[in-house]
Structure 1
Amino acid sequence: MSPPSLGDAASSNNGPSPSFAGPGPGSVSGMTSPSSARVGEGSGPLGIRPDRPCDGCRRRKSRCVMNPDAASCVMCQFHKQACTFIEDAAPRRRKQPNTNTNTTANNPLAGGNASSENASVASLARQRRSGSDGNGHAPRRQSAESIRTGPVIDDYANLQGESLLKKTLGLQNHRYAKYIGPTDEHDFALLDLRLYDDIKGESPADQGSFRKVGPNEFFHQYADSDSPNHAREIEELDNIERIVAPHGEALIKLYFRIVHPTFPILHKKVYLEKYGRTHREFSPPLLAAVYILALNWWSYSAELARQTKPNVAELEDVAYRTLQDVSHRAKLSTVQAGLLLLQRPGSNQAWQLTSQLVAIGQDLGLHLDCSNWRIPSWEKGLRKRLGWALFMQDTWSALIYGRPPHISSTNWAVQPVISSDFPESAADEDGEDGSTEVEKGRTLFSAMITLTKMLAEVLDGLYSLRAEMEVKSSYDSTKAILDRAKPIQLKLRSWYAEMPETLRMDATRVGKLSSVGYLHLAYFATEITLHRRILRSLSHNTDPYMIQICRSAAKARLISAMDFFNRLKPEHLQSFWYFASKFNFALIGTFAGLCFVTSVSQEEAEFYQRRLQEYRWTLRVSNKSAEFLEIASGILESAVGSLLKAADAIDSRRWSFPMLQQQPEEEDTAMESFFPSTDDAFYDTQMDS
């Protein structure tokens, strides 16, 4: 299976194949026309290649781009095949120069004589060689000549030829759109009286224009140029590209190999179409965020492994600064950039940024059902994936930071994702070792959405202020908590039992990374969060048998979670992990600490103390395997380090639960159906499957 091409995404049915002429110096204004003359093959003197695409590119119907110091075109190198001109060219040709959708009509290399062409190629090759440090390593920055500096398309509607972006609402290049809500000053009835064009449903306004995408869905569109700091955008984009030059294309390929399959919040074809023209079409924080995440797997690219790694700290500084700049003219790319930056292992101030992204998402209408909107079908799928990614970010952040979620079911209309919402398939999978499986990634993302919905139920039903007040006012708080928890617990058990085989921990393939670990970890974190609230509800007045049942169930979850950690393999640890994972690993230890300090016997206390110390040690010695484990170890140390040091003092003032000497003669069958006992093999069987 050939890897997903950065220049050939023809297997997708959502639009034309984007041309990916990278930012290397083998192009004029960053691009090379299909009619440009080619450099001769072999190691001999430079010669003239036929004035047409090579055989492979012609069969693939992709652009044939030749770097000046290469014997094969970019696509043939990528697919590891011979670059030949043996087959006869098709008889038709001779298109008008302005039919090219890219800005290469005035390419001086097209149709030039041999001497002038060779001189230009040699000059560009010298530029490329002068950009190295003499050892084949890229310097931290390169001169302005090493990046593309061509003009930017002002309005995608004016693009010649086919493009996915022509009717986009949320990714326009020259303006941004804000959703008009039902209580806005612009009433729907008044807006409906305006005249809208038949192409995109737009109507001019005193400021910008209105766009009608549905019966009662309107957006107000504003020019980017009227927003603060817009004049600096090109400068910021060029700065980002210089930091990573000449590795931008390789990093983007790396991102779509490893991160994108399991966190598909971008549209690959749209991203590559834009980058194929110029990096200047992007929002600066999004361009930087893709590079930043890809840099985590720098050594997984044979092309990059021996090169000097770009300055990550400099990229992060630009990304966060420009993210605040573009928030004044927010687009879908703003939310994409923010979500990607939050996936960084060492991301700080995540709650504040999450809050900002939720507000921006509402401005963009990401909380709405866009199924019947007058926008391209690919954007509908993107909006659904992005909306659910925002929902997950908000819900897991609420768990981590102990805050109420911003998103509630009463104001959430996004439809569940379906297979057609994911434009990539197994045909787009990268065959290179260390890649992520596309189909598994799609299933994983969908399963994580479902699990997050259940976590939202746990937070709302057991931890919200309303739930707390209702439980406090009940006669038996433990029973009130159990009544609330039981339906969620049954959903969790059913979800885990019916998990697709491809998402099981042992469902790995040789040479492929697997991100299923973060899904299983999230499941245990959800279970632990539920049982954590149950343990807190127990008191001296609680029936001893109920205490035993509740604590036995909590113990079973804790043991399963700790055993899960011991089953992780390198292909799990080296893959993409969701941002909450570092906190979820620490949460397992925190739960062990809670079980320890609420123990009802010395024997039980010693058991939890021992397991907590073992887990703490295992996490500490494993933290070199992945950066997020090192962070998780630090979080856990902060949470329970002082507890273990004070263990003797805690033992001396044991929580005075009555010792459970004997079970009542009449067992509570309802409780047994809710909580598997310690000898119940259900969870162990599921873990071993």
Structure 2
Amino acid sequence: MSLPPSARPYRSKRHRPCDQCRSRKLGCQTGDGIPCQRCRAARIDCTFDNPPPKRARLSESLSFSVSSVDDLPATSHGEVGEILVADIPHLKSSADSVQSPFPSLEFGQVSGPSPASGIPLATRPPTQFVQSIDRLEHGYAQLFGASAESDPWLLRHCRFDDSGMKYFYKIHFRNAGGVPTAQRIPVHFMISSGDLSDGLKQETRAGLGQVTREQLDCLVPPEYGRRLVALFVKYVFPALPVISRSQLGLTIPSYQLPELSVLAKVPVHLLAAIYASAFPFVAHDDYLCVLNTYHSSPVQRLWRMVYELVSEEIHTPRLAVLQAALLYLHQQPADEARYTTADTPFLWSFVGQIVGLACSLGVHIECRMWGIPAWEKRLRRRLWWAVYTEDKWRSLLMGRPPYIHPAEWDVSELDEGDFLVGPRQGFSTSSCDTEIPFRYLVNLARIAEEIHETFYTLRASQILNANFDASAELGRDLLEKLNTWYSTLPETFRLPNWSKSVHGQAPYPTSIHFAYLLLVVYVYRAMLRPMARSSCPPMIFDLEEMAATSPLPVDDPTLDFAEISGIEPFPEISMSDVTPYHPPEHSCQSSLCQENL
């Protein structure tokens, strides 16, 4: 007796997937009867002819060798899930299945021993649909590092769905897809529910109340905000491309205003940072320049909103938090503090916070092979290089050990594909993207890192501070690299041709040349350091100890340390005295100066 088409054929106590879905390791949805939804969409036969492979009882596996038991995949908590054994020869005769105490932990089919290690590995699903990691509905994502509590090499044995997800109660796993491959490690993210961190957000909230979108719209009405976003894309983006133009709907490479519906979807902290970054350029907008004349600037209040929201949202971060933090780092100081106040330790501490946030989001790992949208790949790569540039430049300028180490990231160099606009099927680049200043500043940051490692680390300074010959030899190589970098600049970025660049653009060539000359100064500064010999350090006296042990009348204000034997007086040097300095003759020095000046 044949079954009606709407009924599913009985095969076992549990409904198993059809042959096509099982072969592709995809979910089989037959709520409406056969054919299943996938077979119906693909217009192929939905059959149940091939039986599933046999599974072995755990009691029958006691005859395994010790090495075989050790080879069973396990989770980070030690549970052993379902293991398909059809391809393991000495288990094919087993007929019953293993029921795991944690049925949500299902492992993929064991395909046989790995050629390299001899350990059975789970095969990866043949297909995985592209899905954003940053815009998951289930919560926020943070990376599982190589030594995290959930081992990435064990997580790859879990059976993920066709979107790379593995669901638990409030903490899920997301497989990035595309890895592991040669020289790449498995990449997984933990997706946590945002409500688990509500209490922590309140503890680190910098303001008295919660910042809302209504407050932002009162400071900057959305109609004005559209023009500020367009100014940001035109003047700020080429030097700091930390936003996605395609996600703002700016797929046309020109001075384009985004839609109000698009701005409503941008997180408040990122939108406020974009507004504040674009305000210095309101003079280039015919409408905003008039408003700015009769209204006070809300820039300081906008930056305060950004800082409060970043401090709060850093518990449940997305890429928008990192974007807003990078823009906050580049805010212009107030007029009264621009030339009178040095950078406080907060700045370098905030850079470390940004680097830690970037690593938690996984932007320091190459993502071109991941199963995420193309716009997110481009944004992640640009964000990493922006973080890298901040770390290398500021560590050199402030004399601090860098936060980023070469062995802890593998993002490849930027190319034109990282600045595309729109989907890959119809990609385009703006006229300035082919000569975008950010790419040249990133390459210059690579040289800045090498200068810091060569001359300005603690160990290098101790070794080279008195060795002129070694310093000169190392400096030659670095100056040659700077010259090579300069030769790669387009003609419009070179002096004196930079004035021929596009009219109305921000002075990017000036900034690039200033950064280049600054590195040249740092090289010569380190090379000339051995020529200024230091005198012997002064003797140290502890007045508290001398009061108890020394017979000298330490309370006598007329005490003259110069009369004590063994102490030579040092002449006073007045900063107002202008004394010409004649360096000692040195053949290496003279030839070096003639070659590079």
SS at match of 2:289: coil
In the alignment, does 2:210 pair up with 1:282? no
For CA contacts below 8 A with separation 6 or more, give which structure has more relative contact order. 1
Residues 1:428 and 1:241: Cα distance change in structure 2 (over 3 Å):
farther
1:296 aligns with 2:276: no
Question: Which amino acid is 1:302 matched to?
Answer: D
Q: Distance in 2 between matches of 1:202 and 1:672?
A: 65
1:568-589 deviation digits (Å, cap 9, x = unpaired): xxxxxxxxxxxxxxxxxxxxxx
Larger gyration radius, structure 1 or structure 2: 2
Residue 258 to residue 410, structure 1, CA distance change in 2 (3 Å): same
* 1:312 to 2:323 alignment: no
Deviation of the 1:286 alpha carbon: 1.0
Report the counterpart of residue 386 of structure 2 in structure 1.
Answer: 389
Aligned-residue offset at 1:239? 1.4
Distance apart, 1:228 and its partner CA: 2.7
Find the counterpart in structure 1 of residue 212 from structure 2: 236
1:246-257 matches, within 5 Å, as 246-257=223-234
Match of 1:466 in 2: 459
Structural mapping, 1:338-357, within 5 Å: 338-346=325-333, 349-357=346-354
**Could you tell me how far apart the structure 2 residues matched to 1:293 and 1:309 are?**
16
Q: Which residue of structure 2 lines up, in the alignment, with residue 180 of structure 1? A: 144
Match of 1:510 among 503, 515, 522: 503
3-state secondary structure, aligned to 1:211: strand
Q: Match for residue 209 of structure 1?
A: 172
Aligned residue number for residue 409 of structure 1: 406
Q: Deviations over 1:260-311 (max 9, x none)?
A: 1332111111134896535453332211100001111122111211113552
- Match in the other structure for 2:355: 358
1:418 and 2:441 matched: no
- Give the match's secondary structure for 1:220: strand
Measured in 1, the distance between the counterparts of 2:507 and 2:171 equals 46
Shift of the 539–294 alpha-carbon distance from structure 1 to 2, 3 Å rule, reads closer
Structure 2 distance, partners of 1:257, 1:174, is 35
Q: Does 1:481 align with 2:471?
A: yes
Q: Which amino acid aligns with 2:279?
A: L
CA distance in 2, matches of 1:650, 1:672: 24
Structure 1, 461-470 or 289-298: larger mean CA deviation: 461-470
Residues 1:194 and 2:177 aligned together:
no
Equivalent in the alignment of 1:222: 192
Q: Which residue of 1 aligns with 2:433?
A: 439
User: Quick check: 1:284–1:323 contact (8 Å CA) kept in 2?
Assistant: no
**In 2: Cα distance, 1:487 partner to 1:202 partner:** 49
Answering whether residue 483 of structure 2 is matched by residue 493 of structure 1, we say yes
Tell me which amino acid in the other structure corresponds to 2:464.
V
Deviation at 1:484, TM superposition (A): 2.6
Conserved? CA contact 1:504–1:516, under 8 Å: yes
Query: Which letter maps to 2:529?
Result: R
Supply the distance in 2 between the matched residues of 1:313 and 1:253 (Cα, whole angstroms). Answer: 20
User: Aligned-pair distance for 1:237?
Assistant: 2.2
> Does 1:537 find its partner at 2:521?
no
Partners in 2 of 1:396 and 1:362 — Cα distance?
19
In the alignment, residue 491 of structure 1 is paired with which amino acid? K
Asked if structure 2 preserves the Cα contact closer than 8 Å seen for 1:177 and 1:364, the reply is yes
Letter of the 1:263 partner, please give it.
L
One-letter code aligned to 2:283: S
Structure 1, unmatched stretches of 5+, are 1-164, 430-436, 542-642, 684-689
**Number of residue pairs matched?**
390
**Runs of 4+ in structure 1 over 6 Å off:** 229-234, 425-428
In structure 2, relative to structure 1, the CA distance for the partners of 1:289 and 1:441 (3 Å cut) is: farther
2:211 and 2:305 in contact (8 A); partners too: no
1:439 Cα deviation after fit: 2.8
| Structure 2 residue aligned with 1:158 | none
Partner of 1:456: 449
Matches of 1:325 and 1:280 in 2, distance apart? 20
SS of the equivalent of 1:221 reads strand
Which runs of no fewer than 5 residues in structure 2 stay unpaired? 1-128, 181-185, 251-257, 335-342, 535-572
Cα gap change, 1:238 to 1:192, in 2 (>3 Å): same
Q: Relative to 1, partners in 2 of residues 1:468 and 1:648: Cα closer, same or farther, differing over 3 Å?
A: closer
Q: Distance in 1 between matches of 2:156 and 2:419?
A: 33
* Maintained 8 Å contact 2:130/2:372: no
Counterpart-to-counterpart distance in 2, 1:385 and 1:357: 14
Question: Would the alpha carbon gap of residues 379 and 234 (structure 1) be closer, same or farther in structure 2, given more than 3 Å must change?
Answer: farther
The amino acid of 2:214's aligned partner reads D
By percentage of residues, which structure has more helix? 1
Letter paired with 2:261:
R
AA paired with 1:489?
Answer: L
Residue 450 of structure 2 aligns to a residue whose secondary structure is helix
| Mapped pair 1:370 → 2:367 | yes
Residue type of the partner of 1:394? D
SS at match of 2:219: helix
CA distance in 2, matches of 1:228, 1:186: 24
8 Å CA contact 2:389, 2:445 repeated in 1: yes
* 494 and 382 in structure 1: CA distance in 2 versus 1, 3 angstrom threshold: same
SS at match of 1:460: helix
C-alpha deviation, 1:456, in angstroms = 0.3
Letter in 1 for 2:576: D
Q: What is the 5 A alignment of 1:105-120?
A: none
In the TM superposition, residue 519 of structure 1 has moved relative to its aligned partner by 0.9
CA–CA separation in structure 1 for the residues paired with 2:483 and 2:590: 14
Q: TM-score, structure 1 length as denominator? A: 0.52
CA distance in 2: counterparts of 1:345 and 1:258, whole angstroms: 15
Give the whole-Å Cα distance in 2 for the aligned partners of 1:390 and 1:171. 21
Q: Give, in whole Å, the separation in 1 of the partners of 2:429 and 2:481.
A: 34
Amino acid at match of 2:142: K
Q: CA deviation at 1:649?
A: 3.5
Residue pair 2:226, 2:260 contacting (<8 A) in 1 also: no
Closer, same or farther in 2 for the Cα pair 1:510/1:226, shift >3 Å? same
- Aligned-residue offset at 1:324: 0.4
1:166 positional shift: 7.8
RMSD: 3.0
Q: 1:340 to 1:204 in 2, by over 3 A?
A: same
* Separation in 1, partners of 2:265, 2:433: 29
Cα deviation 1:523-579 (Å, max 9, x = unaligned): 0111111111122221459xxxxxxxxxxxxxxxxxxxxxxxxxxxxxxxxxxxxxx
Contact 2:366/2:411 (8 A) holds in 1:
yes
CA–CA distance in structure 2, aligned partners of residues 388 and 268 of structure 1: 17
CA–CA distance in structure 2, aligned partners of residues 219 and 317 of structure 1: 31
1:211-262 superposed Cα distances (whole Å, 9 cap, x missing partner)? 1113210100112233237799995222112210141112112211211133
Q: 1:201, 1:234 → 2: CA distance?
A: 35
Letter in structure 2 aligned against 1:648: S
TM-score w.r.t. the length of structure 2 is 0.60
Matched residue SS, 1:268: coil
SS for the counterpart of 1:329 is coil
- Whole-angstrom CA distance in 2 between matches of 1:283 and 1:390: 20
Contact 1:237–1:279 (8 Å) recurs in 2: no
Given that 2:244 and 2:379 are in contact with CA atoms closer than 8 Å, whether structure 1 keeps it comes out as yes
**Rounded Cα–Cα distance in structure 2 between residues aligned with 1:412 and 1:288:** 30
One-letter amino acid matched to 1:492: L
